[in-house]
Structure 1
Amino acid sequence: MGNYDKNDDLFETLLVGLMEDHIAWRQINYPQNTPAPQKEKSLNIEFAQAVDHMKRHISQLISELKVSSSTNLPGYFGHMGSDLLLPGLIAQLLTTLYNPNNVTGNVKPITVDMELQAGRQIARMLGYNTDPAIHPCAWGHITSTGNSANYDSLWNARAISCYPLALKAAAKKLHIDLKISPYSNKKIAESSSWQCQNFSVDEVLDLHEFCYQQLLASSNLQTVKNFFKQVEQHRIEHMGMASFYAEHWDAKQPLVLVPSTCASSWKKYLKLLGFGSSQLLTLDVNNKMRIDINSLERILTNAEQKKIPILSVVGILGTTEFGSIDPLADIVLLRDRFRAKGLNFYFHIDASWGGYLSSLFRNPDNSLCSYDEMKKQFKNFPAKHTYDAFATINKADSVTVDPHKMGYLPIGTGAFISRNRAITNLCNDNAITNLNHVKNIEQDNRQLKEYLLEGTKPGAVAVACCLTQRILPLNNQHFGKILSESIHATEYFHERIKKTIKKLKGFVNIVLPMKPDSNIICLAINPVNNHCLTRMNRFSQRVYKQLTNDPEQANPHSAFFCSVTSLLHSNLGNEDAQSLLKKLNIRDSSFVINIEDPKVQSSSIDVLQHTLLNPWLLTEIDGNNFIDGYCEYLEDCIITVVNKESSHTLIAVGAR
């Protein structure tokens, strides 16, 4: 809608015009829908009463919704919210009238094609090849959320890791000699379980196709079908965990490695897959909230020595709490090094938050912008490690991206992108009857229900995503220009807050726990002369209450909004924790992992979180922009809480 709703007339005009067009379409294309005969007066009265009843409830809903924080306003610095792009908002509202279900291309071919096109648009932005003539070719689809996309990654990783074992079992049972590749005489039936669990994604998919070609060359089509039917019966997806690992008794259950800053949903994914949350290992992070690469190397070394397979390693491109970016380039180097030792793993990037920042790094011809050119556009962004991370995305096996975050689309729009679209062959429920998969891969990809976890899929969100990215291509001259405003705002905030820190020096200590990797800035605030972390956290929560909606107040709406999050002791080493506590003037003994006295001890540090996503934050009004206004408002809130606490202290002293 724009700053101060400047586009409200445009929005209304477009929406009304599209509604009128939709009604006309229904009348023209379905002339059999003639007006119903006049009903009895009593029925008309009942209908009128039902309409009034509906209107009352809608009016009540409108009132209730207005209590919510206005995430679309420039004064909102809170978690993961901003104004929405008009093309996507209009496209989703319009398409909802047609109510398409993207379960299969046969039902709604137009919206399914737009969903797959949206996946290709995002894949190109991430640096993947989307030309079917070049192998491997990426593909993607729209999900309900990033959580669903992350689960897709583990679903695919399990299929890749366990499929060679199923091939081996079928080849042994049918006494069929199949080579593992055209360049080796080694038979799949002779491969050890360890070797079978450590093929790369491309190797497994090539092996699947190579087995098909070998069988077709030496026997008839029925033999081929019988073999792959036997393969399906030996797959983990058919047998279940217990029977599969009982058959392959020397194959150990794999581990999944995620940073400790990951979402708690990853434990649920492992439970759903049947591996159990005990197979999930969390990687240490450093004081910048990035994966400690040495921690990852130690775990991989131990796994290689003990022959414990790694199902997947997950790196984060912009944590949702701090915006931090993991050392993705270093993870790729480690993967290549351990692959040479015989230990391979599926590499997934959770770019739910930072994925769309890739548009800043892409020229209109989709080439990668050089580091020197990137540095000319901003003051500090990107750090070298950040640039290397974005340049490395296309080395990952899959990526999660959330269009409903930095894609400025309505909530409920995630995306899963896979580097090699042939992986859909392993996840296809009709793999046995659809052996001619290579020739028909485009057609197969349109039958989404056959290889995706989700069945019913709303076409409206896919259309919103695709149309927005058609209008604003995902490169630095179009979509990237919007996000460049977010980065400029972050850099301005980083400098402007120093003025607030200086101004309030006699009242509070304000510390930035880490420099921003992307567009999220956190502030830790401690009253002067306070050395207790629990009191600091209470103070921070009171300041936060001034910066959010409080329905209990006479005027529940704040002029500005932020969010609150926590720095966990378990995510900080002792040295990093002590360094931060020293800056805040907090006793070391009050920040612990295991709390013994909750009155004076805490396992976390509460910090104010600022997401600088709105593109209008630097718009000047009367010489001040929204960041200046927020900082001044924050200063007033802090002083208000300081004064309240001081008066309470005096009252308490007087009472004693």
Structure 2
Amino acid sequence: MSALPVAGDPAAPTAEDRAERQLLDACFLGPYGENDGLLEKLVVEFLRDHVYWRRNFHPEDPPAIPTGAATLPGYRDFEARMRRELHQLSAALKKSVPFHSPRYLGHMVSDLLLPGLVAQILALPYNPNNVSDDAAPVTVDMEVQVGLQLARMLGYPDDPARADCAFGHLTSGGTVANYQALRLALALKAFPVALRAAGVPELPAVAGGARDDHWRGDDWSAFNLGPRAGIELLVRWQAWLATLDRDARRHWRARVQAQRIEQLGLAGFFTRHLQLRVPVVLAPITAHYSWSKGLKLLGLGRDQLQLLPERGMRLDTDALEASLAECARQRQPVLLAVAVLGTTEYGTIDPVDAVVDARERWQAQGLGFGVHVDAAWGGYLATLFRNADGSLRPLQDIRREYRQFPQPEVHAAFAALGRSDSITVDPHKLGYLPYGAGAFVCRDHRAMALLAEDADYVFHTAAEADYLARYRHLGRYIPEGSKAGAAAAAVYVTHKVLPLDHAHFGRLPRQTVLAAEAFHLRAQRFATEVAGLAQALVPFAPDSNLVCLALNPAGNTEVARANAFVRTLHDELRCDPAQPLQLKQFFGSVTTLRPEALGAAETQRLLAAIGLDPATLDRGQVDGDDRLLILRHTLMNPYLVDHENGISYIDLYFEHLTRRVRALLAS
């Protein structure tokens, strides 16, 4: 039996540890289906409740399906066919990836939280469509509340009574949330230019706001106001319109609408404003491919995505500064600077604080742009940094619970989230909720007015002063039309059962970070154990709960051979639908260390540490071996250390890996 890894001293858990474990034991169906009775009881209870609701809608209406229908041949034939297809589906699904198991260390998915799973099942028969409250009077409100719950977790204003309250909504995933970030940033950047082109007169300052009419100077100044000044200008425009009579209001709305980028399209807008260039997006080279897709989708073009190098697998702030300086010199507008809070490949945390500081510096010099944080992976780690009242936990308080987490720069990044302009976060990743439930959150909801789309048959066109009333017509603001209200119910209920602070939901990511620290320690021991056979290295200490492992057969200097060795290992760790799942001891994934991401010095250091010759990267360009293949481990499952049975699946994994390394190198 494997020894338990040390994190504090899990072999002798404290009373707090035991209380945390009891909470976790109630959260999931469990690796062995241990909570099947609870799940079955809840599903049956609420299915019956749904049936009672149907029967009591208009109890005077008689049953439309006759009592004896189930005995008739046509009914029985349909039931038989349905059962046959469902049994075949059930059999086919047994080839699915066992995300629920602590033997799964692959991609960003794990077991599902029972509150969310049951809430989604419960809501499905009602089939709410969250396009508006006409189609989903209950779950639309839940989705708006989810946006506020996430805003609080991320450090944004979450009080709807505040004029600058945040706003968030669900999407199918982080990709669509990133598209929404691009849409909003472009609308906000171009709006002052439209006001100027329409000949809107000087606007009075709103109460408590600063007067700043640089937008009237020239197109460049208008295009570079920056998000917060742009929002204030929008508010001033709306306040000025309210003072006009109906005909004048209609006149000025039409004039401005005719000049907006949403009306003209990119070609029309930039043809009218020849001194402006299509803006660029600055993102780290580790950014998700959705940014490339989004720029193509919006018609901005893939060439407008400038990928910046990394330093220690975090965004290189010197490179960001140099790129911004060059943009200012070339009069090249910048739409967004993107920071990643938990990269897909490595889980590393970009310096969000440095990026928002850069925004403020360059805004003062006339180069305005927004800051978006792609926290699709790491967003829910913010619960570790939040008290119940939404305040930030001090670094020293958090560090007492871990070996090394969080590093000061990681704490600074999370502390700066509230200063960004918008954030992507995925409840279906570290929120442990069913696909697809991504989310987009912007810091100031007033900017969303620029995305409003009116469809008379769905939406009320009258202006809504009340925050919640306005966003009940979600379809006006979101990329999708129809969207599942059941997903909103799942997220909302989960957040109510497990509030988004360190004492509640934070207990889940706490387990994953402890597991990552234990995994890192065990990987170092593994490197010693296989030293005569292979060289092993964790390329960089984990910022979150992803840990990578580089491997190279002893004596080998060729990157191509090291990659072939890791590919063979991965072939035994990946899902193969042609084989029974039970033949796999563990499931894992791979990623690559790219020289263009690491930089020359860091690449040379890492390759040398495992005995590889950097020159062989150049020789591998033809065969795709111009980067180093490494094993990637996502440590989400809360039962990686099973205290009940005294099993460490982390130890079992490294024992398995040791056997496979020995067997492969002996053959």
CA–CA separation in structure 2 for the residues paired with 1:260 and 1:554? 38
Residue in structure 2 matching 1:336, options 343, 357, 360? 360
Residue in structure 2 matching 1:283, options 308, 311, 320? 308
Q: Which residue of 2 aligns with 1:648?
A: none
Please state if 1:560 is matched with 2:586. yes
Q: Report the Cα offset of residue 74 of structure 1.
A: 1.2
Please state if 1:641 is matched with 2:664. yes
Change (3 A) 1:206 1:54: same
Give CA-to-partner distance per residue, 1:559-593, whole Å, 9 cap, x none: 2211111112221211111111111111222113x
Q: Report the Cα offset of residue 177 of structure 1.
A: 4.5
Residue in structure 2 matching 1:503, options 529, 544, 567? 529
SS at match of 2:447: helix
Q: Which residue of 1 aligns with 2:104?
A: 76
Please state if 1:473 is matched with 2:473. no
Q: Which residue of 2 aligns with 1:244?
A: 269
Q: Report the Cα offset of residue 608 of structure 1.
A: 0.8
Please state if 1:544 is matched with 2:570. yes
Q: Which residue of 2 aligns with 1:212?
A: 238
- Equivalent residue letter for 1:253: V
Contact 1:178 1:188 in 2 (8 A): no
Q: Which residue of 1 aligns with 2:625?
A: 602
Structure 2 unaligned residues grouped into runs of 5+: 1-28
- Equivalent residue letter for 1:290: R
CA–CA separation in structure 1 for the residues paired with 2:528 and 2:105? 22
CA–CA separation in structure 2 for the residues paired with 1:205 and 1:350? 22
- Equivalent residue letter for 1:539: F
Q: Which residue of 2 aligns with 1:257?
A: 282
Residue in structure 1 matching 2:337, options 303, 313, 329? 313
Please state if 1:100 is matched with 2:128. yes
CA–CA separation in structure 1 for the residues paired with 2:69 and 2:358? 77
Q: Report the Cα offset of residue 622 of structure 1.
A: 5.3
Q: Which residue of 1 aligns with 2:292?
A: 267
- Equivalent residue letter for 2:335: L
Q: Report the Cα offset of residue 106 of structure 1.
A: 2.3
- Equivalent residue letter for 1:519: N
Contact 2:141 2:468 in 1 (8 A): no
Q: % of aligned pairs identical?
A: 37
Please state if 1:325 is matched with 2:349. yes
Change (3 A) 1:11 1:524: same
- Equivalent residue letter for 2:630: V
CA–CA separation in structure 2 for the residues paired with 1:8 and 1:478? 23
Contact 1:144 1:414 in 2 (8 A): yes
Q: Which residue of 2 aligns with 1:198?
A: 224
Matches within 5 A, 1:504-543: 504-543=530-569
Contact 2:385 2:501 in 1 (8 A): yes
Please state if 1:418 is matched with 2:442. yes
Give CA-to-partner distance per residue, 1:96-115, whole Å, 9 cap, x none: 11111000022211100000
SS at match of 2:552: strand
Contact 2:352 2:413 in 1 (8 A): yes
CA–CA separation in structure 2 for the residues paired with 1:577 and 1:142? 39
Matches within 5 A, 1:258-407: 258-286=283-311, 288-407=312-431
CA–CA separation in structure 2 for the residues paired with 1:360 and 1:444? 32
Residue in structure 1 matching 2:260, options 216, 235, 258? 235
Residue in structure 1 matching 2:649, options 622, 626, 633? 626
- Equivalent residue letter for 1:301: A
Contact 1:425 1:431 in 2 (8 A): no
Structure 1 unaligned residues grouped into runs of 5+: 645-656
CA–CA separation in structure 2 for the residues paired with 1:525 and 1:77? 17
CA–CA separation in structure 2 for the residues paired with 1:462 and 1:623? 38
Answer with 230-239 or 442-451: which moved more: 442-451
Q: Report the Cα offset of residue 186 of structure 1.
A: 7.1
Q: Which residue of 1 aligns with 2:483?
A: 457
CA–CA separation in structure 2 for the residues paired with 1:270 and 1:563? 28
Q: Report the Cα offset of residue 185 of structure 1.
A: 7.8
Contact 1:128 1:138 in 2 (8 A): yes
Q: Which residue of 2 aligns with 1:36?
A: 65
Please state if 1:586 is matched with 2:612. yes
- Equivalent residue letter for 1:283: L
Answer with 292-301 or 269-278: which moved more: 269-278
- Equivalent residue letter for 2:535: N
Contact 1:546 1:637 in 2 (8 A): no
Q: Which residue of 1 aligns with 2:16?
A: none
- RMSD of aligned residue pairs (Cα, Å): 2.3
Answer with 566-575 or 90-99: which moved more: 566-575
Aligned pairs, number? 635
- Equivalent residue letter for 2:279: P
SS at match of 2:416: helix
Contact 2:140 2:485 in 1 (8 A): yes
Change (3 A) 1:98 1:40: closer
Q: Which residue of 2 aligns with 1:651?
A: none
Q: Report the Cα offset of residue 30 of structure 1.
A: 4.4
Q: Report the Cα offset of residue 514 of structure 1.
A: 1.0
CA–CA separation in structure 2 for the residues paired with 1:24 and 1:303? 64
Q: Which residue of 2 aligns with 1:131?
A: 159
Give CA-to-partner distance per residue, 1:321-369, whole Å, 9 cap, x none: 1001101111111111111111111110000000000001111111110
- Equivalent residue letter for 1:390: F
SS at match of 2:138: helix
Change (3 A) 1:504 1:194: same
CA–CA separation in structure 2 for the residues paired with 1:554 and 1:140? 42
Give CA-to-partner distance per residue, 1:454-488, whole Å, 9 cap, x none: 11010000000000000100001100011111111
Answer with 448-457 or 25-34: which moved more: 25-34
Contact 1:169 1:189 in 2 (8 A): no
Change (3 A) 1:209 1:436: farther
- Equivalent residue letter for 2:190: C
CA–CA separation in structure 1 for the residues paired with 2:408 and 2:327? 30
Q: Report the Cα offset of residue 77 of structure 1.
A: 0.9
CA–CA separation in structure 2 for the residues paired with 1:448 and 1:563? 37
Matches within 5 A, 1:163-202: 163-171=191-199, 176-178=201-203, 190-202=216-228
Q: Report the Cα offset of residue 216 of structure 1.
A: 4.6
Contact 1:259 1:315 in 2 (8 A): yes
SS at match of 2:415: helix
- Equivalent residue letter for 1:504: V
- Equivalent residue letter for 1:636: R
SS at match of 1:118: helix
Q: Report the Cα offset of residue 234 of structure 1.
A: 0.9
Contact 2:227 2:368 in 1 (8 A): no
Q: Report the Cα offset of residue 430 of structure 1.
A: 4.0
CA–CA separation in structure 2 for the residues paired with 1:596 and 1:316? 28
CA–CA separation in structure 2 for the residues paired with 1:134 and 1:480? 27
Contact 2:158 2:166 in 1 (8 A): yes
Change (3 A) 1:37 1:641: same
Please state if 1:23 is matched with 2:23. no
SS at match of 2:590: strand
SS at match of 1:522: strand
SS at match of 2:535: strand
Give CA-to-partner distance per residue, 1:602-629, whole Å, 9 cap, x none: 1121111111111111223654312111
- Equivalent residue letter for 1:254: P
CA–CA separation in structure 2 for the residues paired with 1:552 and 1:588? 37
Q: Report the Cα offset of residue 188 of structure 1.
A: 6.8
Q: Report the Cα offset of residue 10 of structure 1.
A: 0.8
- Equivalent residue letter for 2:140: V
Give CA-to-partner distance per residue, 1:157-194, whole Å, 9 cap, x none: 0000100111111116xxx4446778888757742111
Contact 1:178 1:189 in 2 (8 A): no
CA–CA separation in structure 1 for the residues paired with 2:554 and 2:431? 41
